[in-house]
């Protein structure tokens, strides 16, 4: 279904004929390895477990993404349901139908009301991920959100870090800025300020500014 420098994603079916997505992490370049390290260092789950072997590193990275999906799914955020992980292979719910994946947020054309609804629900999920799962996505944008049957799904969560990570606050602000920029500059919505979004997500405000 998709191919990047670090992984390939395939469509498949389980033994009951249900659609599944299979993500296989590849042996990657030294530069990509360097890019992963900043998301592992400072994370108490993996701080002292960073292997020198690239193969083992990719297995660790797949396990990290699986755990992040589990925590986000348990928190009630809209993400593909994680199924299992083995070494460098991650299996999860397929978002789409019979091998045709759902479009990304950047690829859809919706009504203003539909965009508003997705924006509000997306911010609610960022809040759940922060306050309940205690994670920050770290790379959230219109490229990491799928739209299927009127619902959004947050994907590609391998780089997500615990809120205790030394760069978590920086990553959260970047995530919110990316999402806000898409909905204001590309879609043309009037949305709350970055400061308002941040305060709502971290719990400094109990309600999101009306839009």
In the three-class reduction of DSSP (H, G, I as helix; E, B as strand; rest coil), residue 147 is classed as strand
In the three-class reduction of DSSP (H, G, I as helix; E, B as strand; rest coil), residue 135 is classed as strand
Q: Which residues are identified as catalytic? A: 139, 156
Q: What's the distance, CA 95 to chain centroid? A: 14
Closest CA to 21 of 88, 80, 72, 65: 80
Tell me whether residue 41 is exposed, middle or buried, using C-beta atoms within 10 angstroms of its C-beta: 0 to 12, 13 to 18, 19 or more.
middle
3-state helix, strand, coil in the chain (%, to 5): 40, 20, 40
The whole-angstrom separation of Cα 115 and Cα 123 is: 12
Query: Quick one: angle between helices 194-202 and 112-131, nearest 10?
Result: 40
């Amino acid at each position: 279904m998709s191919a990047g420098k670090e992984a390939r994603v395939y469509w498949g079916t389980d033994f009951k004929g249900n659609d599944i997505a299979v993500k296989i992490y590849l042996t990657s370049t030294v530069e990509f390895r360097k890019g992963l390290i900043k998301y592992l260092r400072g994370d108490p789950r993996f701080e002292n477990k960073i292997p020198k072997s690239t193969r083992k590193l990719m297995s660790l990275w797949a396990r990290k993404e699986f755990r992040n999906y589990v925590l986000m799914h348990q928190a009630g955020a809209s993400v593909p349901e994680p199924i299992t992980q083995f070494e460098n292979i991650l299996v999860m719910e397929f978002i789409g139908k019979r091998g045709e994946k759902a479009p990304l947020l950047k690829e859809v054309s919706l009504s203003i009301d539909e965009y508003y609804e997705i924006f509000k629900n997306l911010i609610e999920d960022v809040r759940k991920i922060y306050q309940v799962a205690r994670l920050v996505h770290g790379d959230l944008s219109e490229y990491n959100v799928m739209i299927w049957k009127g619902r959004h799904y947050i994907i590609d969560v391998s780089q997500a870090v615990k809120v205790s990570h030394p760069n978590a606050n920086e990553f959260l602000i970047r995530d919110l800025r990316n999402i806000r920029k898409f909905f204001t500059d590309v879609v043309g919505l009037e949305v709350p300020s970055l400061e308002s979004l941040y305060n709502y997500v971290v719990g400094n405000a109990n309600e999101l500014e009306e839009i």
